[in-house]
Structure 1
């Protein structure tokens, strides 16, 4: 049986050219796109590994894995529309890659698949990935339509190492009855949850904030600047049960836009579970428009 070949760091560009290519195109991703992605990976502190199968000198399968802070991974696959790649070999490559990750202390691996990529869905389902949900990618400009900053009745506490445990407790409290990927709640300890959010972009402790009302921690907002971009992302926002239905979601969105404007960021982005109707309605009220959708799958080792 032919085994997958692990690529050396200097060889990974060829694998990225396959997995970053437009699924509907026979052309590979260009050098600039690959270089920009590698700069993003480095800026976020992610690991990047790749494996391939060959038939003779030609590639017949390609897999890339991103190793994220917080001890999870993202598996990336190419479209089979480009000549030479074979589904049987692609399945074998994914299976071998997952086997190699089993003993590396990861909580789970994810795959984010274009809805139209039927071949990729077959491959990851054959490898034991379970469908989780659809994710909607939203964005808006930060100045138009104009949104007023939050009212002055909230106090904002920025992140520091001295406040780490406080942030951890609050994030865990917001998971209770959450409608945003609830299947992931409890799979990781709080310190790894925060580490994962820290790897969402360029970390700035002033963009991680706790909202306080009446002297109590009433919500958390975790944002990140996206590398080589004029955008910032809401990596996570949550409200503990006692403060829900009290306008905290609107408060968080106003604060996020305010922080963007203060830093002259032009775009605000976020990702939401398509099942979370309340959050989607909130984001729609704040002018967030959909620009992409992915199907989220998860793999856990027995």
Structure 2
């Protein structure tokens, strides 16, 4: 039993049901509220989701709900869930409106549910909670705002179809900027660990890509997230050096189940910028994917990062989806009086 402080500004209104942790007996019902599905399929899809979550080792205790306080057995009004991931992150999900009429005044209730969830995440395991609603899901965006999440940008998800490109465009030699040497990562945990950390930290300086994320997580945790995306292959992680100093990287991981690859991260330190290094690294990665017969390369980019958007489009990438990024730092609780759960 853990005691957490309750911040006065986050205490729910008396008119809003106080959120509670979902008991295991109501997991199926709560999951049914969280997962979009036709009414006749919700329970089946919820059970499938829960079975998969348990098999993956996810902590389902990070699920909260609200009900009618006058009737503890009444249907679940709102629910939220955090799925913990590598690099001390947690992806958050919130229930949507059942109907337009039913949704009146629910933003604050969803926000209250999310605040309880965030307050009870274990800071030793999670330092950053995040959410990626679709831009048109105003109900979700309003809930994350209400819960104190920070808007970290509008993301464009882009893809480059490589199969057609192989037929139309023979791979050209990469033109590297003068003085640049490149090689694949050898060991991200040992010999190249410091190189990767220095590139990541340098690339965050004056970044145009989700600058709101800077400083919210330790760089070690960010690297762990990158390593856990897709299937790590050191030969697809490229480092760039100048005078022995690491100044750039292109990190690509394969997604074997659908024959694609993801550009996990591409970063350039201030020393390497405005010299065409980003384009060269990306062209180098694309050429390597051609040899592996990968079908497509996908990436996500902050729409405010106009240089990156122009680069991707010039190489043939096209937007196929979009998400609104929201984040919330998870802090170690201070001593005080609060809820007991």
TM-score range, shorter chain: 0.7 to 0.9
Aligned residue pair count: 298
Q: Give the equivalent residue in structure 2 for 1:193.
A: 222
What CA distance in whole angstroms lies between the structure 1 residues aligned with 2:274 and 2:120?
45
What CA distance in whole angstroms lies between the structure 1 residues aligned with 2:55 and 2:170?
34
Residue 203 of structure 1: SS of its match in structure 2? Answer: coil
Contact 2:123–2:330, Cα closer than 8 Å, also in 1: no
Residue 250 of structure 2: SS of its match in structure 1? Answer: strand
Determine which structure has the larger strand proportion and give its number: 1
Residue 312 of structure 2: SS of its match in structure 1? Answer: helix
What CA distance in whole angstroms lies between the structure 1 residues aligned with 2:27 and 2:286?
37
Cα distance, 1:204 vs. partner?
2.6
Superposition TM-score, scaled by structure 2 size: 0.74
Cα distance, 1:118 vs. partner?
1.4
What CA distance in whole angstroms lies between the structure 2 residues aligned with 1:102 and 1:62?
19
What CA distance in whole angstroms lies between the structure 2 residues aligned with 1:61 and 1:113?
16
Is there any run of 5+ residues in structure 2 with no aligned partner, and where? 1-16, 332-341
Task: Give the counterpart of 2:240 among 211, 219, 223.
Answer: 211
What CA distance in whole angstroms lies between the structure 2 residues aligned with 1:179 and 1:193?
17
Is there any run of 5+ residues in structure 1 with no aligned partner, and where? none
Q: Give the equivalent residue in structure 1 for 2:65.
A: 52
Contact 1:108–1:301, Cα closer than 8 Å, also in 2: yes
Alignment of 1:252-291 (within 5 A): 252-291=281-320
What CA distance in whole angstroms lies between the structure 2 residues aligned with 1:95 and 1:268?
36
Cα distance, 1:212 vs. partner?
3.5
Q: Give the equivalent residue in structure 1 for 2:142.
A: 122
Per-residue Cα deviation, 1:79-115 (whole angstroms, up to 9, x for no partner): 2135978825433322221111164453321121211
Cα distance, 1:127 vs. partner?
1.0
Which segment drifts farther, 124-133 or 30-39?
30-39
Q: Give the equivalent residue in structure 1 for 2:182.
A: 155
Which segment drifts farther, 216-225 or 149-158?
149-158
In structure 2, the CA distance between the partners of 1:123 and 1:62, relative to structure 1 (3 Å rule), is: same
What CA distance in whole angstroms lies between the structure 2 residues aligned with 1:37 and 1:244?
46
Specify the structure having the higher radius of gyration (Cα). 2
Superposition TM-score, scaled by structure 1 size: 0.83
Say whether residues 1:295 and 2:324 are aligned partners: yes
What CA distance in whole angstroms lies between the structure 1 residues aligned with 2:27 and 2:173?
45
Task: Give the counterpart of 1:21 among 36, 45, 49.
Answer: 36
Q: Give the equivalent residue in structure 2 for 1:81.
A: 98
Q: How large is the Cα RMSD of the aligned pairs?
A: 3.4
